[in-house]
Structure 1
Amino acid sequence: MTGTAHPELVAELTALLGERGVSVDLATRERASIDGCRLSPVISAKLPLGLADVVAYPANAEQIGLVVAAAARHGVPITPRGKGTGNYGQGIPMAGGLVLDTSRARAILEIGDGFVTAEAGAVLAMIENQAWATGQQLLMYPSTAQSTIGGFLAGGSGGTGSIAHGVIAGGPFVVALDVVHAIGDGELVHVEGTDAQPYLHNYGTAGIIARATVRLEPLQEWRAFYASFDDFHDALGVIMAIGELEPTPRLVSADLPTLADALPANAGIPKGRASLRAILDARAVAAASAIVEGSGGVVEDVREGAQEIMRLSMISYNHPIEWLQKSYPGTYFHVEVGGSALIDRIDEVHRVYPGAMLHAEAQKGRPIGMLAAEYESEEQVVAGFARLAELGVSTHNPHQWFVDVEIERTRALKARTDPASLLNPGKMPEPVPAAVASNPLMVGGSAA
């Protein structure tokens, strides 16, 4: 360990976690200093954005608290990390310092009637599997189901199940959290209900999630539903009707034939045809089939089993962009979009960017999606936001790493919980003058 940065901290953490619980190896530090942000060519062009000086692997929630306390006492920046599946650079240690890898703190502590309590590094797919064994299910999980629960709550917004239950922040999903503040005492602070909300979707900038309790509901009999259409307009035209079926689907997605051609062979997603996929309650399959066939589509397959449900989930939300990038390297970027214009004015939406194609998702009351297109420059990406807004399309910029929800609330909390600004530095936007703040294109490149 001699000659490393922060030798006193490294020594303290080694005494706490053991030799295998701390690393200053360069290759390890490099791997821990990047997340899934290469999905964005804008961010990729700016890499590297930071390099950890040391990586720590606490094995439980209490050790997460002790690691944060040690780093805070030594004045070392702390960047929390789950499985590194985030797409926006939230997990990059922009000020160096310590990367706190929670993936070994993975115990699922209790599954009760309507709830599960797990440590921050517990994987959502494992939690869902164990919940199924008790006749229950998570209200939602990310399409990247191998993500950790701490990473999902701190960095995600919604996913499979959001049609019924909305997004994480402000919704019914989170019951309670045990969080750690950067004040040097290592205490696990227990917060419930509305008091837990300020710690969600702010990338650990005001407190690091060490343990979480989230809500479960009775298990439903799910089916993976596959359909196809000659024309994407027909597929797009039925996603909202299928999304409004009862019992509420967990997921409804639609794509142009371009995605089918990029995916591995799958009998449910025939090449050259627009694809519609859904996770449906078994009681809704007949109604969904009637909607598809009444609009000129073909029901290709209906599959059952937890693995089939998870597999379908993994080609929703951002994942179609990953498949397109694998098949056509260096070509695609995406913008997160929403609003009825995605259906009513889709041809105009597609003309905003060269080679644009919409991956559509049904949500309550409106469609959302990922608009994939050929990448030219960051300026091209940002310029398209204004054109989309003129069409009535809301946008969110996935090519920046700043906290962009409840910013002032997070700043106020952070002033109390992180007085030395050690928690995930570089992720809070600087305060901006009112005239600039009124222009969404000038604040992190994001438009609402």
Structure 2
Amino acid sequence: MSALGAIDTTRIDALRVELVDILGEAAVATDDARLERASVDGSGMSPLIKELLPLGRAQILAMPSSAEQIVATVAAAVRHGVPVTPRGKGTGNYGQGIPMNGGLVLDTSKARRVIEVGDGWIEAEAGAVMWMLEQTANKAGQQLWMYPSTAQSTVGGFVSGGSGGTGSIANGMIHQGFVKAVEVVHATGEAAAVRVEGDDAVPYLHNYGTAGIITTVRVALEPLQPWRAVLASFDAYEDVVQLMKPLASLTPTPRLVSGDRAEIAACLPAELGIPAGRASLRAILDESTVEEATRMIEAAGGRVDDVREGAQHTVKLSMNSYNHPIEWLQKTAPVPYFHVEVLGDALVDRLDEVQAVYPGGMLHIEAQRGRPIGMLAAPYESAADVLAGFDRLAALGVSTHNPHQWAVDFEPERTAALAAVTDPQGLLNPGKLGATVHAHTGTQM
């Protein structure tokens, strides 16, 4: 098996026969159209990765409809020595879901059953959509600790590839108590499901399935709150940035506080009602804090343009946070843009210097527990220019994460040690663990 290679067709054909017997004819595909769709994700958002595409192509696609079928599918692939690349909704932006060694793409999105809702937790199959889990929790008087900005992502995809999201201001990242338990299937022996709980589950998070394919997930819930979508605007973006920490300190803690310069805000969907030519601040606040937040916004020179009640409005704010404003910018700008994920107090204290690291740089900012985070976007010239900016950002006290590479960068040594035991043949999402990619990775956030 070589990098970006493919498995001989004899093994693929034999695997197909077995998978059809396990899953049924309709759940197994080898036609070009579906294989092409299963071999791409959202990595086109990175102009650096886009220059390298295609990076791999599936030879067979399986769509199991239950956790048990996921286990059986992985077991079959292991018996035939065929690589397995797991896939949820394919919304990842860094190439994590590209089958770089060909083989099998395992689409988990059909395995979406909610198994049980308890006091403080909900458990579901890997393909369950995060927004569906949120709605299910709401009916039980609870809410998710957090959900990704792409609310239609699957829970398996979120905990395998994500870091945090809406709700992280209060509850941190996915590895900080959000995940209560996972069931995973290893690429060993008969590839049976293994349940791991608490801290033992953490090594299986944010590693793209390289140490085990997640079949079910139990995540944390908390009591339901009366959220409001608050939309405010300012003449100056600097005033938005200065409010990140004060708003994040409200009690109860906001679920989201997000801000953009007028140039980026102008690219966002019109239904948000953002006034033209003004910097935007968008927040999901507990109803009890709206009055205090309004006072803070007005004192900083801004105005509250609207306060909206209902989940349909709060999820819209979520769907236009984190990297989504940069995606809207990319769709409308006449030149290609790239972005770098950034973290640190310097985003507030040294805003002009941070934006000046790249010519034409513009910062999208988010309140976060501890320190603000953001997406620094600028017109794309070359990969070398992008990577050279990392050192300049570090000199300003800014931590960076490089979204233009696909290697596991959260505890990679720990993941490699675990995968040596759980995946001795290197069949699980090969090319993502211990890879040398594009040039180098950024500093882990």
TM-score by length of structure 1 reads: 0.95
Among 148, 152, 162, the alignment partner of 2:168 is: 162
Q: Does structure 1 residue 116 correspond to structure 2 residue 122?
A: yes
Q: State the AA in 1 paired with 2:90.
A: G
User: How far off is 1:444 after superposition?
Assistant: 2.7
User: How far off is 1:116 after superposition?
Assistant: 0.6
Q: Does structure 1 residue 372 correspond to structure 2 residue 382?
A: no
Aligned residues: 437
Q: Distance in 1 between matches of 2:345 and 2:435?
A: 33
Q: Does structure 1 residue 327 correspond to structure 2 residue 332?
A: yes
Q: Distance in 1 between matches of 2:278 and 2:18?
A: 59
Q: Over residues 312-360 of structure 1, what are the superposed CA-to-partner deviations in whole Å (9 max), with x where a residue is unaligned?
A: 1011001001100111154211000011111111111111112110000
8 Å contact kept, 2:126–2:216 = yes
8 Å contact kept, 1:251–1:280 = yes
8 Å contact kept, 1:60–1:119 = yes
8 Å contact kept, 1:49–1:92 = yes
2:441 aligned partner: 444
Among 127, 133, 143, the alignment partner of 1:137 is: 143
8 Å contact kept, 1:244–1:364 = no
Gaps of 5+ in 1: 433-440
Secondary structure at the aligned position of 2:177 is classed as coil
2:190 aligned partner: 185
User: How far off is 1:262 after superposition?
Assistant: 1.1
RMSD of aligned C-alpha atoms? 1.5
Q: Distance in 2 between matches of 1:108 and 1:423?
A: 26
8 Å contact kept, 2:416–2:434 = no
Q: Distance in 1 between matches of 2:443 and 2:387?
A: 8
In the TM superposition, what are the counterparts of 1:196-345 in structure 2 within 5 Å? 196-266=201-271, 268-328=273-333, 330-345=335-350
2:70 aligned partner: 64
Q: Distance in 2 between matches of 1:335 and 1:88?
A: 12
Q: Distance in 2 between matches of 1:382 and 1:358?
A: 17
User: How far off is 1:430 after superposition?
Assistant: 4.7
Among 409, 419, 422, the alignment partner of 1:414 is: 419
Q: Distance in 1 between matches of 2:335 and 2:442?
A: 22
TM-score by length of structure 2 reads: 0.96
Secondary structure at the aligned position of 2:122 is classed as strand
Among 78, 84, 92, the alignment partner of 2:90 is: 84
Q: Distance in 1 between matches of 2:413 and 2:370?
A: 28
In the TM superposition, what are the counterparts of 1:352-371 in structure 2 within 5 Å? 352-371=357-376
Q: Distance in 2 between matches of 1:108 and 1:164?
A: 25
8 Å contact kept, 2:399–2:443 = no
Q: Over residues 266-287 of structure 1, what are the superposed CA-to-partner deviations in whole Å (9 max), with x where a residue is unaligned?
A: 4641111000000000011011
8 Å contact kept, 2:265–2:325 = no
Q: Distance in 2 between matches of 1:330 and 1:122?
A: 37
2:24 aligned partner: 18
Secondary structure at the aligned position of 1:302 is classed as strand
Q: State the AA in 2 paired with 1:33.
A: S
Among 10, 14, 29, the alignment partner of 2:35 is: 29
Q: State the AA in 2 paired with 1:386.
A: D
Q: Distance in 2 between matches of 1:43 and 1:221?
A: 41
User: How far off is 1:186 after superposition?
Assistant: 3.3
Q: State the AA in 1 paired with 2:375.
A: M
Q: State the AA in 2 paired with 1:400.
A: Q
Secondary structure at the aligned position of 2:320 is classed as coil
Secondary structure at the aligned position of 1:223 is classed as strand
Q: Distance in 1 between matches of 2:61 and 2:218?
A: 26
Q: Over residues 223-247 of structure 1, what are the superposed CA-to-partner deviations in whole Å (9 max), with x where a residue is unaligned?
A: 0011000000111111110011000
Secondary structure at the aligned position of 1:110 is classed as strand
* 1:229–1:348 distance in 2 versus 1, CA, 3 Å: same
2:397 aligned partner: 392
- Percent of paired sites with the same residue: 63
Secondary structure at the aligned position of 1:262 is classed as coil
User: How far off is 1:264 after superposition?
Assistant: 2.6
User: How far off is 1:4 after superposition?
Assistant: 7.6
Q: Distance in 1 between matches of 2:10 and 2:422?
A: 28
Q: State the AA in 1 paired with 2:293.
A: A
User: How far off is 1:73 after superposition?
Assistant: 0.6
2:5 aligned partner: none
2:102 aligned partner: 96
Q: State the AA in 2 paired with 1:302.
A: V
* 1:442–1:37 distance in 2 versus 1, CA, 3 Å: closer
Q: Distance in 1 between matches of 2:248 and 2:359?
A: 29
Secondary structure at the aligned position of 1:366 is classed as coil
